[in-house]
Chain A
């Protein structure tokens, strides 16, 4: 069965510090992985997807098939990055499988 694990419920850093939100997955086959973000009082929204290999708001994520990981990274955290972050793994052609989420708090 496929599974997404985000081991950290909470990650607290100071502004300017590097950030890494961990995501490990279990999936038989070639996965397509996503990161979603939910800012306070806003809807969940897509942050980035691994197939595009893009950087959004300074965040990047690399799929490591050997370690079955898709960690989200940013070299210098900003206060506005404070939010809930969800790693997600598609099932079929849509995206219902989420990790439990990691709350990122960036202190000034």
Chain B
């Protein structure tokens, strides 16, 4: 099956710095990728939909200037958390658009971000 690779798996950064998270599709072309955030003991929440070659679509309440998404190629989508704050500490996960006929969606392994 398709594989999505997310990097890094975990990162610790200082407040005010920026962190980039990469999501790569290894054996398929992903025109659409999704970015989720999961706070401790809460569900995955969709942050934005990343579209290759165009602007990302953000969910309500998600600051697009803070969470920059770039999807410049069919195999790479990046999420940059800018001017990170401790409240941005969370688990971020990407996933490839699933095919309902195959009923599958492919997830990266996730990135644990801790802002100190």
Binding site for B on A (CB under 8 A): 6, 9, 32, 34, 42-46, 49, 51-52, 86, 90, 93-101
Contacts and interface: CB of A to CB of B under 8 A. Distances in A.
A47 B43 CA distance: 17
Contact of A100 (B34, B43, B98, B105): B43
Contacts of A97: 46
A83 to B, nearest CB: 14
Tier of interface size on chain B: 20 to 34
Nearest to B45: A98
Interface of B: prevailing SS: strand
16 contacts: A32-B103, A43-B93, A43-B109, A44-B107, A45-B107, A46-B103, A46-B104, A46-B105, A52-B103, A94-B34, A94-B105, A96-B34, A96-B36, A98-B43, A99-B43, A100-B42
A49 B43 contact: no
Given A9-B41, A43-B109, A98-B43, A93 B99 contact: yes
B93 A44 contact: yes
Contact of A95 (B93, B105, B108): B105
A99 B41 CA distance: 12
B16 to A, nearest CB: 30
Contact of B98 (A6, A9, A94, A101): A94
A32 B100 contact: yes
Given A86-B43, A86-B44, A94 B97 contact: yes
B110 A43 contact: yes
Looking at B34, B36, B42, B44, the one whose CB has the most chain A CB atoms below 10 A away is: B44
A86 B38 CA distance: 12
A93 B43 CA distance: 21
B70 to A, nearest CB: 20
Contact of B103 (A9, A34, A42): A34
B44 A90 contact: no
Given A43-B109, A45-B107, A98 B44 contact: yes
Contacts of B100: 32, 90, 93-94
Given A86-B44, A101-B43, A51 B109 contact: no
